[in-house]
Amino acid sequence: MLELKSLHKSYKMGSNYLHVLKGINFKVNEGELVAIMGSSGSGKSTLLNILGMLDSADKGSYFLDKIEIKNLDETKAAKYRNEFLGFVFQSFNLINYKNAVENVALPLYYRGISRKKRQTEALNFLQKVGLSNWSTHLPSELSGGQKQRVAIARALVSNPKVLLADEPTGALDSKTSNEVMSIIQKINNEGKTILVVTHEEEIAKMCKRVVKLKDGLIIEDKYIKQKLL
Amino acid sequence: MFSRDTWVEIFQTISKNKLRTFLSGFTVALGIFIFVVLFGFGNGLKNQFKEFFLDDATNVLTIFPGTTSKPFMGFKSKRQIRFENSDLSGIKENFTFFLENISPRITRYAQVTYKLESNNYRTKGVSPSEQFFEKNIVTNGRYINSNDVKNKEKYAVIGRLVVQDLFKPNENPVGKFINIDSSVFKVIGVFKDLGGDNEERVVVIPYTTRQLIEKNNSYVDQIRVSYKRELGYIGGIGFENKLKIFLKEKKYIDPTDTKGIFIRNVSKELKQNQDFSTVLQYIITFVGIGTLIAGVIGISNIMVFVVKERTKELGIRKALGATPNSVIGTILIESIFITTIFGYIGMFGGIILLNSLGSTLAENYFIKDPFINFSTAVFATIILIIFGAVAGYIPAKRASKIKPIIALRDE
């Protein structure tokens, strides 16, 4: 489903180059639930950005569903993001003047799907995350856990091949964290490929595979026994 | 780009950000409003200047006698100059090339009586050309003619308001007899004049008749001449100078004496006024364009701010699949939409204000019937919209280049 081959990335910091990713080889099969772990500075966010086509690699190759992702212009990157990927962020990143269902429907708008269909699809996915009663509420009227669930519904609505979650529980208490993770597990069990970036062992244990990054290299990659919620 | 969804998106952003929308719209509306009003005021000033000259022909010179300030050829200084009939005929004979019409004028105030009604009016002893100079319009009967002048007829042509004052409504004054002081005159015509009430409370009689009443003398107060229009403005100045020389010689006035004879040249005054109002119009246009530019800068400022404020939102949208073009499109259409709506509000506001003013400012500020051509107003508004779009495009372009990772980075 997703394959990285000797991926390198460095950033220019003044006159020096900061080598962030020093050759990542990494393969994810369909239906996996992978936790990417690492302390800050390990390169895990950079890796996720490259996976999410929000940033491009300097060297190496990236295949997503057998399509090589390279030399993307902004328009094409936007199209691929819309079709292949769903994002869940630590800070939810909902649009604050749109209500829940409008937020969820947004990726479909950029795909050019008719209004009616967007609405039904969005409501569908809100129901999936258990928020069908909150569809007309603004983000400001929702709790943190609810916001993250809206964000997950939004990430799923376009039926992406891969769901990328960047510290999805980072801003949540442990109870709501578990709620969110149980939804992620449920989606994964339905067959969705999911990558979760986290620094919490607790969260990593809820995944099926843990990849540890340190100083731009993968130091550990193992399948674990998933802690089901 | 112009689907219903685009508009739904735009209306949503507008209605959720009312203050922002109002502020940017207000800048635009104010810019256009001030432009329209200023431009209209400029036109109003021009109107007023035109008005000053509307009731008189413009190719006219009026010659006034003065008092000499220098002794000349045995005459002492401070001699009062008086024009006579021979001066009239002298001008007629010597200036056939220039001359179109000529009329003397002897102005006297007199008691005019018809039956029991009586009032004081200005009477003018003139020749038939006076009708041309004053642009009098005969509404009834006829004006005085050259036979009346030759025969020193006691005929009078009276102004519209004289008729109103002295005659009963529906009474035809033509053919009736009136007393001017102690002489009886027959009314042969009624005229109206666009120059205001003052010009319609006048009684016109042949100048020879006035001279006859005044012991059959041959003096006239002033002489008015008009020159052929094809001579133009420069020809008029030439005529003025030649006349001065001719009359000074005829009246034994030192050629260097500036006080003996005065000539008022209407076209010269008109030209000065027109030049003035043209300059004024330029200044006003300049200020107006400045206002427009200020409006454009206002919009672009607000757009920069809007994009800054929406950085995160645009980042989210881009992460969800918004293309750079759709980002530019949304911002641009929104900005054009706001500019168009508020631009036209400002424009119509300005036009309504101008129309409601009418001539209320004419009395004190010399602004009469200010107006702006509808097309000028629309043109200015469209210019503002176009520049507003350009001003919006630059920040929109910048917004489209926002990297989602940077926009989404947690503060």
- Alpha helices in A87-193, H assignment, sequence order: 100-111, 115-128, 144-157, 174-189
Best of A73, A81, A85 to substitute, by most chain B Cβ atoms within 10 angstroms, is A81
Per-residue pLDDT reduced to its tens digit, A26-67: 899 999 999 999 888 888 888 888 898 888 888 899 998 888
Distance of alpha carbon B221 from its chain centroid, rounded? 31
pLDDT given for residue A182 in this prediction: 93
By the CB < 8 Å criterion, does A111 face chain B? yes
Per-residue pLDDT reduced to its tens digit, B337-352: 888 888 889 889 988 8
pLDDT given for residue A75 in this prediction: 86
| pLDDT > 70 fraction of chain B, expressed in percent and rounded | 96
B360 or B307, which is more confident: B307
Q: Which two tokens stand for residue A207?
A: 């995944």
Q: What average pLDDT does this structure show over A196-221?
A: 92
Contacts of B402 in chain A (CB under 8 A): none
Contact (CB<8Å) A158/B321: yes
Q: Which of A54, A90, A95 sits opposite B404 (nearest CB)?
A: A54
**Assigned domain for A48 exists:** no
Note down the domain range covering A99: 2-43+81-223
Contacts of A94 in chain B (CB under 8 A): 316
Return d(Cα B240, Cα B265) in angstroms, integer.
Answer: 8
Q: How crowded is residue B390: how many other Cβ atoms within 10 Å of its Cβ?
A: 14
ipTM above 0.85, yes or no: yes
Q: What average pLDDT does this structure show over B86-113?
A: 88
Per-residue pLDDT reduced to its tens digit, A134-171: 999 999 999 999 999 999 999 999 999 999 998 899 88
Q: Which of A93, A107, A109 sits opposite B408 (nearest CB)?
A: A93
In chain B, positions 361-400, which contact chain A (CB-CB < 8 Å)? 400
**Assigned domain for A146 exists:** yes
Contacts of residue B375, Cβ cutoff 8 Å, sequence gap at least 6: none
Q: How close, in Å, is residue B12 to chain A by CA atoms?
A: 8
Q: What average pLDDT does this structure show over B133-161?
A: 89
Q: How close, in Å, is residue B319 to chain A by CA atoms?
A: 7
* B318 to chain A: closest CA residue: A78
**Assigned domain for A228 exists:** no
Average pLDDT of chain B is 84
Per-residue DSSP letter, A58: S
Contacts of A90 in chain B (CB under 8 A): 410
> Which stretch of A11-15, A154-158, A165-169, B240-244 has the lowest confidence by average pLDDT?
A11-15
Contacts of residue A228, Cβ cutoff 8 Å, sequence gap at least 6: A185, A206
Best of A50, A88, A110 to substitute, by most chain B Cβ atoms within 10 angstroms, is A110
How far CA A28 is from CA of A89, A113, A227, in Å, comes to 21, 30, 20
Q: Which of A49, A93, A115 sits opposite B5 (nearest CB)?
A: A115
**Assigned domain for A184 exists:** yes
Number of domains chain A contains: 1
Closest CA to B409 of A98, A199, A166, A153: A166
**Assigned domain for A51 exists:** no
pLDDT given for residue A17 in this prediction: 86
Tell me the pLDDT band of B293, cut-offs 50, 70 and 90: confident
Find the length of chain A. 229
Contact (CB<8Å) B324/A154: no
Return d(Cα A97, Cα B17) in angstroms, integer.
Answer: 9
Contact (CB<8Å) B317/A106: yes
In chain B, positions 292-351, which contact chain A (CB-CB < 8 Å)? 312-313, 315-326
Contact (CB<8Å) A78/B321: yes
pLDDT given for residue B362 in this prediction: 64
By the CB < 8 Å criterion, does B169 face chain A? no
Q: For the domain that residue A175 is a member of, what is the CATH number?
A: 3.40.50.300
First to last CA, chain A: 26
pLDDT given for residue B2 in this prediction: 57
By the CB < 8 Å criterion, does A229 face chain B? no
Q: Can you give the C-alpha Rg of chain A in angstroms?
A: 17
Return d(Cα B273, Cα A29) in angstroms, integer.
Answer: 88
Contacts of B315 in chain A (CB under 8 A): 93
* Exposure class string for B31-52: b at 16+ Cβ within 10 A, else e: bbbbbbbbbbbbbbbbbbbebe
Q: Residue A24: which H helix or E strand, with range? A: strand A16-28
pLDDT given for residue A163 in this prediction: 93
By the CB < 8 Å criterion, does A98 face chain B? yes
* A111 to chain B: closest CA residue: B321
Q: Which two tokens stand for residue B10?
A: 């735009």
pLDDT for B189 beyond 90: yes
Tell me the pLDDT band of A74, cut-offs 50, 70 and 90: confident
SS in 3 state form for B107-121?
EEEEEEEECCEEEEE
**Assigned domain for A22 exists:** yes
**Assigned domain for A49 exists:** no
Q: Which of A49, A75, A94 sits opposite B325 (nearest CB)?
A: A75
Contacts of A83 in chain B (CB under 8 A): 321
B303, B395 in Cβ contact below 8 A?
A: yes
**Assigned domain for A61 exists:** no
Paired with B204 in beta bridges are: B124, B157
Q: How crowded is residue B219: how many other Cβ atoms within 10 Å of its Cβ?
A: 16
Please classify residue B112 by burial: count the beta carbons closer than 10 Å to its beta carbon, then call 0-12 exposed, 13-18 middle and 19+ buried: buried
Contact (CB<8Å) B319/A54: yes
How far CA A215 is from CA of A24, A198, A223, B31, B409, in Å, comes to 11, 16, 22, 58, 21
Paired with A24 in beta bridges are: A7
Q: How crowded is residue B90: how many other Cβ atoms within 10 Å of its Cβ?
A: 16
pLDDT given for residue B366 in this prediction: 72
Q: Which of B12, B313, B321 sits opposite A82 (nearest CB)?
A: B321
Per-residue pLDDT reduced to its tens digit, B16-56: 778 878 887 888 888 888 888 888 888 887 777 777 666 56
pLDDT given for residue A195 in this prediction: 94
